[in-house]
Amino acid sequence: MGNQYAYVVVFTLVGIIFLVIALIMARILRPSRPSQAKLMPYECGIVPEGDAWNQLNPRYYIFALLFLLFDVEAAYLYPWAVRVSRLGPYAVVEMLIFLLILGFGLGYAWREGGLKWE
């Protein structure tokens, strides 16, 4: 049993070491030649004024999280649809329960006003 934890620890350490080495190598090998043109605003061309910190409405974050939630959950439908003929009626019932839970979540978000973009 303890041997299985050793595998996890070794893989975690190797991952951390790889990450640190990659970050150090990227810092050493990257070119760094700042100039006035590179420090200019990129797309809009407007020089920023004032503080960069802006307080945003939390509704935007909730809207984005809801989009990600339902987008990721919708990604589960494709592999299921490909294999539904082999999975049988039990898988259809499971997917209906899954969609029902998603529908309740969407209904709750709609009722609470989480889908209003104002």
SS3 call for 49 = coil
Domains of the chain by residue range? 1-30, 56-118
Query: What is the spatial distance between Cα 92 and Cα 86, in angstroms, rounded to a whole number?
Result: 11
Per the CB < 8 A criterion, the answer to whether 59 and 115 are in contact is no
Q: Which tens digits make up the pLDDT trace of 63-109? A: 888 888 888 888 888 888 888 888 888 888 988 998 899 889 888 88
Q: Which tens digits make up the pLDDT trace of 4-48? A: 888 999 999 999 999 999 999 999 999 888 888 777 777 666 776
Cα 34 to Cα 24, 72, 102: the distances in Å are 20, 40, 49
Q: Which residue has the tokens 């809009």?
A: 44
Q: Return all residues near 72 (Cβ < 8 A) that are at least 6 apart.
A: none
Q: Return all residues near 47 (Cβ < 8 A) that are at least 6 apart.
A: 41
- Whole-prediction pTM: 0.48
Q: What pLDDT, on a 0 to 100 scale, did the predictor assign at position 72? A: 82
Per the CB < 8 A criterion, the answer to whether 70 and 102 are in contact is yes
Torsion of CA 110, 112, 116, 118, to 10 degrees: 180
Q: What is the CATH number of domain 56-118?
A: 1.20.58.1610
